[in-house]
């Protein structure tokens, strides 16, 4: 229920190697600085890239976060497709899918 | 002195990061077109390069989102992304703070642009620079138009912003090159990545190459989102270049939809001598 802060923590992680180091050591401590609900916290920690997509995280923020988490391109795209099948369409934001099939 | 070069190109992270997954002919022809752009840029003997980008949350977020921002840093670091993922090593790019300050001052006469002395580059600037200034030896002035976090600046303001940048370039003694990078139609960072509306792109590029102000400003975000995806909002960077080169036609040297690069890959150069 706090998409703004969910995107904010990912935005700050994506651009700050120092914060990335802290996050790798203690995820909960970093996430405590943001107003997040349980579902969001778990999705970031896991990471559940597909669920983050469904929650409405801007695709550009999520793409960079997936790369930070070591996702290859096909695995990242597949995570979003699997989540669409599991959860239904994106709940908020600009990155609502069209048909989810894409071209690749 | 003046604007000595202007052009547009794509910046999709796949262009460098996923080249091994692409058809070799797509890679070879696109890279050759980017090499051609670099040669034309070098031949113009610029003192600095203004890159009009549409960044992807490398510096700006919805806590304080500028519609327009110009960098005024000594140097810039990039990419923010995992360098291996992007296929571009992390590096420092030289800035031109004094020139930036003069360009910002002049641009402020027309547009209330923000400025930033700290700025990290994402793929939106690093991918073009990887081809255009591969030794990172040309001072860069990053310029951003918010194309990611709505509300977005209207297209006619992007045109006006381009005009203001042009006046700023004319007002300084340095030789300035200008490159806009963005879209065109694409659904990047979605499960539909790879979807490209080539007919829409070609129509847009026709208007861009003709410096057709009316045609370029006729797009609405609602229709663009439908026809060209959220990536289509990045047409603002091309429109700003068209505004900066008002009255000049351009040539599209390369356009090819390359799904694994998630975008219709484009290279266009403005003929600064040609009247539209
Ligand atoms: Fe982009």
Tell me the ipTM for this assembly: 0.93
A91 has pLDDT over 60: yes
Contact B13 A63 (CB under 8 A): yes
pTM of the model: 0.96
**Structure token pair of residue B267:** 């290279």
**Tokens 């390069």 label which residue?**
B49
Segments making up each domain of chain A, as ranges: 3-87
CB pair distance less than 8 Å for A98 and B148: no
Over residues A58-71, the mean pLDDT reads 96
Q: How far is CA B50 from CA B90, B159, B239, B245, B271, in A?
A: 20, 16, 15, 14, 17
pLDDT band at A1 (very low <50, low <70, confident <90, very high): low
CA A21, CA B149: separation in Å to the nearest integer?
27
Looking up residue B62, the CATH number of its domain turns out to be 3.40.830.10
Cross-chain residue pair A4–B59, CB shorter than 8 Å: no
Nearest residue, CB atoms, B61 vs list A11, A80, A98? A11
Number of domains in chain B: 1
Instruction: Identify all chain A residues contacting B59, using CB atoms and an 8 Å cutoff.
Output: 15
> For residues B251 and B205, what is the distance between their CA atoms, to the nearest angstrom?
9
**pLDDT band (50, 70, 90) for residue A50:** very high
Residue B258: which H helix or E strand, with range?
strand B248-258
Q: What is the pLDDT of residues B119-156, one digit of tens each?
A: 999 999 999 999 999 999 999 999 999 999 999 999 99
Contact yes or no for A48/A42 (Cβ under 8 A): yes
Q: Mark yes or no for CB contact B260/A104 under 8 Å.
A: yes
Sign of CA dihedral A33, A39, A44, A45: positive
B193: closest chain A residue by CA = A102
CB contacts under 8 A, A 25-64 vs B, are 58-64
Measured distance CA(B138)–CA(B46) in Å, rounded: 8
Tell me the residue range of the domain where B206 lies: 3-10+17-275
What homologous superfamily does CATH list for A3-87?
Dioxygenase LigAB, LigA subunit (1.10.700.10)
What pLDDT does A100 receive? Answer: 60
Helix (H, G, I), strand (E, B) or coil at B218: coil
């Amino acid at each position: 229920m706090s998409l703004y802060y969910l995107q904010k923590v990912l935005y700050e992680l994506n651009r700050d190697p120092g914060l990335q180091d802290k996050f790798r050591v203690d995820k909960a401590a970093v996430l405590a600085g943001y107003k997040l609900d349980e579902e969001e916290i778990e999705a970031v920690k896991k990471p559940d890239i597909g669920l983050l997509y469904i929650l409405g995280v801007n695709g550009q923020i999520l793409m960079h976060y997936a790369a930070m988490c070591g996702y290859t391109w096909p695995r990242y795209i597949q995570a979003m497709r699997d989540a669409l099948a599991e959860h239904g369409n994106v709940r908020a934001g600009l990155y609502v899918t069209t048909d989810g099939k894409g071209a690749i | 002195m003046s604007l000595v070069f202007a052009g547009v190109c794509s910046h999709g992270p796949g262009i460098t990061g996923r080249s091994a997954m692409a058809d070799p002919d797509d890679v070879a022809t696109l890279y050759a077109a980017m090499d051609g752009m670099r040669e034309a840029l070098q031949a113009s003997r610029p003192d600095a390069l203004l890159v009009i980008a549409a960044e992807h949350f490398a510096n700006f977020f919805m806590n304080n989102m500028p519609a327009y921002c110009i960098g005024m840093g000594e140097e810039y670091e990039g990419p923010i992304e995992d360098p291996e993922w992007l296929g571009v090593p992390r590096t420092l790019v030289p800035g031109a703070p004094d020139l930036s300050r003069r360009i910002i001052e002049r641009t402020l006469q027309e547009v209330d642009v923000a400025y930033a002395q700290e700025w990290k580059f994402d793929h939106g600037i690093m991918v073009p620079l990887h081809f255009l200034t591969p030794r990172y030896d040309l001072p860069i002035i990053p310029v951003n138009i918010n194309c990611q976090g709505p509300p977005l600046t209207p297209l006619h303001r992007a045109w006006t912003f381009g005009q203001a940048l042009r006046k700023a370039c004319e007002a300084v003694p340095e030789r300035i090159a200008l490159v806009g990078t963005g879209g065109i139609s694409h659904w990047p960072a979605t499960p539909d990545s790879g979807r490209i509306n080539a007919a829409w792109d070609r129509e847009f590029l026709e208007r861009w190459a003709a410096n057709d102000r009316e045609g370029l400003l006729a797009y609405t975000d609602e229709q663009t989102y439908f026809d060209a995806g959220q990536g289509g909002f990045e047409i603002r960077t091309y429109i700003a270049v068209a505004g900066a080169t008002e009255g000049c036609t351009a040539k599209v040297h390369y356009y090819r939809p390359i799904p694994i690069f998630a975008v219709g890959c484009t290279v266009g150069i403005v003929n600064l001598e040609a009247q539209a």
